[in-house]
Structure 1
Amino acid sequence: MPADRSKRLTLRRSCQACVKSKRRCDQGWPRCGRCLGKDINCEYVNAPFTVTSTGISPAWQYMGVDYSIANATFTPQILAPLQLEMMKEPDPNIIQLLVAGLRDLPVKFAQNNKNIFIHPDLYTNVLPIPVREIHSICKLNIQTGESSRVTFILSSMLRQHSAKIYRRLNQAASFEELLGYSQAFVLIQCILLFNEDGTKRPYSEVISAMLAGVAGKLFQQAPIQLPHALSPRRAWLFAESVRRTIIVCFMLRSAYSLNTRKYSVRTPFVDSLPFDLRTNLWDNDSDIAWQDALSDSRDSMVSLHEWSDGLAAGRVYDVSSFSALILAACKGRAVFMIPTPPVDYHMDR
């Protein structure tokens, strides 16, 4: 007997009426604009992004976390709007800490096939073409040394490759391809924007807009259903890779602005991005170790705003390199500047 389609895990964010009519949904709550105008019922499989009790969409909670809660009932709550926050004249040491951490991402990837937002275990056989290409480029970047002529030639090549990748990600035939090109684009920008030759390039609104556009495209085109063939760990790695790539896009955009203009603006959308508390799962290298470290999925997701607040208040134990970059980007603080949390808490909420 075929499976009941209505009970399948879905990441759809549009309301049922708009899906049925094949119309664009503005995801308004409690009724979208179209349903409100027609005075008809407006029902969501997943509540809109800004109205859940945790500040994130249940759709993002479902992305590979726990298939057993796919049919759970949620009671949406409207949160108070998050305010724009402009970080002016931050500590230069914090800026350099953030820049150094992002500059190190291509190096880590070249050395280990892995960094804070790319995980090799997501792929069964070989890395996707765009990820494999950027791996070779990252290795070449390490090998160039201090030769100014070689560095100039490499930078020129990277700018051309960056333009090609950006065109291809806008023409991606699948979401997996889009994710691969997006990750490659981010790594190239980490090399170009934070080169070590001391050259300060003028701030480019185009580059900033491209980074924001990549993050927005990933968020908007996230698949409405995860492949059933994925194991629980690979499903989680897929979802976490998407979440982390989006966060790193905005982190890179912020660091670029801080490094060139000495200020950065964070928006409510960035603060509302979903974040998985269980950062230790990223570094569990086997299905068994991953399963052993798995905690209760129902309480694992918070917003980036909640997570950064918890970091700054010292409510997070065992801060990872990913968390340290978030702390610098969102709060302008280093790990040594925060209180030491209780050893028996991962995050005390």
Structure 2
Amino acid sequence: MLGYISSTRKKSCKQCVKAKRRCDLGYPCCKRCFSKSLDCAYPNSVREAEVVIRQRTPDLAPLDHVGDNDLIGLQPVGCDFDLAILQVSTSDSKSSSSPESRSNIAEDREEQDATNRQALYWKSSKEPAVSRQMLPKIWAPSWLNEDQLLFMVSRMRSFVPTLAFTGANTFIHTALYKSHQPTAFQDSISLSALYLAKTKQNAPILIRSIDEKINGLIARSNGWSLQEHLAAVQALILYQIIRLFDGDLGQAGTAARQNHLLELWTAHLWKRSFAEPIAFSKPWDAWVFYESLRRTVMISVFMRGSWNALTQGGLCDQVPVLARLPLSKGDGFWDIREEEFDRRVARVDGRDQLVAYGDFSLSWKPGEDDVGGLTEFQRLLLVACRGHMDPRLYLDGM
């Protein structure tokens, strides 16, 4: 279990400094502030690669143990398993602060009790007492209407031809693999191009090729670097989109069972991104990699939630996970060049440039905010959680 990753460049939050308590540097709030419903604020921030997201990730079996037989019997994921990216860790064997008195020991016990109560949120309907930062007054809707789903599926399907024509898409930055192209990335482009040329005659070739590429990913998964892991998850997302949302291929059932494999790989990727941070020589390279990783995790969860909604009468079962995944504020860096990035970064005031998906959606004012000012990525995310209240989000894009 991963509770938090310490960042040596981040100072204790103001509440812990005031109380003379050790801070565990959790993001967006530390454990002490979380359990006491305090407003947690840090005096400074860290680079995006060092941002800490408080989470509880699942204990995953080694990826090399996943074989063909495991894929055959995969069942849809139940409510007891999710990425658990967004939960507070309940398995810390050691407190992040050292008690110096009986009162401190009592306080630590109160914090642990509060943390344990928070874990029950995912298995009961009772709402825990958490800080305003962590739990908005309302959540994104769990039920999607037909118009929302049609727009979302259409946009996700567009990821495939966009990659084939440009070598990039909404979650794969154009500069991500400029110096080294993982095999999974090259294969995904090739099969995306083959999909665009699909006919009744070559469809079986496409299906077999995807199956073989997935089997190859499984066979090599034990030795992945973090970059290769990212490319593998991106490739699997594309293979899932091709098979889930094209009824002519007749592969939706197989792909639906392999959604569990995508969930496992995505959870492990997210966990590794904190446990095995990469040192980049330039801020631009770091931003491109970690922003692509964040978007890849987001789209992985988003796609699986969309598929569930499509097959379960509109019910999106991934809302609790999606609501707390991080996004870049403004989303203005994705389409700019490195030189412009360096100029803009120099003007940033140093605060964290991330916002939770749930907070981003709640900030949208239906019928008032300008739809034209949204990027395609922002629009896709808002259609899912605000489309029922603001049809402009999908009607203007149809």
Alignment of 1:149-160 (within 5 A): 149-160=201-212
User: Among residues 153, 178, 188, which one is paired with 1:134 in the alignment?
Assistant: 188
Residue in 1 aligned with 2:48? 63
Deviation of residue 250 (structure 1)?
Answer: 0.7
How far does the alpha carbon of each residue in 1:90-128 deviate from its partner, in whole angstroms, 9 at most, with x for none?
A: 321221111111111011111111101111312342422
Alignment of 1:159-238 (within 5 A): 159-169=211-221, 171-195=222-246, 197=248, 201-202=252-253, 206-224=257-275, 226-238=277-289
After superposition, the Cα gap between the structure-2 partners of 1:55 and 1:300, relative to the gap in structure 1 and judged at 3 Å, is farther
Alignment of 1:1-349 (within 5 A): 13-14=4-5, 44=24, 46-47=25-26, 51=30, 62-64=47-49, 78-79=131-132, 81=135, 87-88=142-143, 90-144=144-198, 147-169=199-221, 171-195=222-246, 197=248, 201-202=252-253, 206-224=257-275, 226-262=277-313, 263-284=315-336, 286-294=337-345, 295-311=348-364, 313=366, 315=369, 318-333=373-388, 337=392
Residue in 1 aligned with 2:127? none
Identical aligned residues as a percent: 20
Kept in 2, the 8 Å contact 1:272–1:303? The answer is yes
Residue in 2 aligned with 1:24? none
**Hey, what's the Cα distance between the residues in 1 that align with 2:249 and 2:184?**
29
Supply the AA of the counterpart residue of 1:178. H
**Hey, what's the Cα distance between the residues in 1 that align with 2:173 and 2:40?**
26
Stretches of structure 1 that go unaligned for 5 or more consecutive residues are: 1-10, 17-29, 31-40, 67-76, 339-349
How far does the alpha carbon of each residue in 1:181-218 deviate from its partner, in whole angstroms, 9 at most, with x for none?
A: 11111111111111163858459763332232222112
Aligned residue for 1:149, secondary structure, equals coil
With the length of structure 1 as denominator, give the TM-score of the two structures. Answer: 0.70
With the length of structure 2 as denominator, give the TM-score of the two structures. Answer: 0.62
**Hey, what's the Cα distance between the residues in 1 that align with 2:253 and 2:322?**
24
Stretches of structure 2 that go unaligned for 5 or more consecutive residues are: 8-14, 16-20, 52-129, 394-398
> Which piece of structure 1 moves more, 229-238 or 101-110?
229-238
Deviation of residue 178 (structure 1)?
Answer: 0.8
Kept in 1, the 8 Å contact 2:324–2:358? The answer is yes
**Hey, what's the Cα distance between the residues in 2 that align with 1:55 and 1:153?**
55
Kept in 2, the 8 Å contact 1:168–1:181? The answer is no
Kept in 2, the 8 Å contact 1:166–1:181? The answer is no
How far does the alpha carbon of each residue in 1:12-50 deviate from its partner, in whole angstroms, 9 at most, with x for none?
A: 92579xxxxxxxxxxxxx9xxxxxxxxxx9752x31566
Aligned residue for 2:355, secondary structure, equals strand
**Hey, what's the Cα distance between the residues in 2 that align with 1:163 and 1:327?**
35
Aligned residue for 2:170, secondary structure, equals coil
**Hey, what's the Cα distance between the residues in 1 that align with 2:41 and 2:152?**
26
Deviation of residue 153 (structure 1)?
Answer: 3.2
> Which piece of structure 1 moves more, 201-210 or 159-168?
201-210
Kept in 1, the 8 Å contact 2:46–2:352? The answer is no
Supply the AA of the counterpart residue of 2:4. R
Kept in 2, the 8 Å contact 1:158–1:192? The answer is no
**Hey, what's the Cα distance between the residues in 2 that align with 1:212 and 1:275?**
19
Deviation of residue 166 (structure 1)?
Answer: 4.1
**Hey, what's the Cα distance between the residues in 2 that align with 1:151 and 1:56?**
55
After superposition, the Cα gap between the structure-2 partners of 1:220 and 1:107, relative to the gap in structure 1 and judged at 3 Å, is same
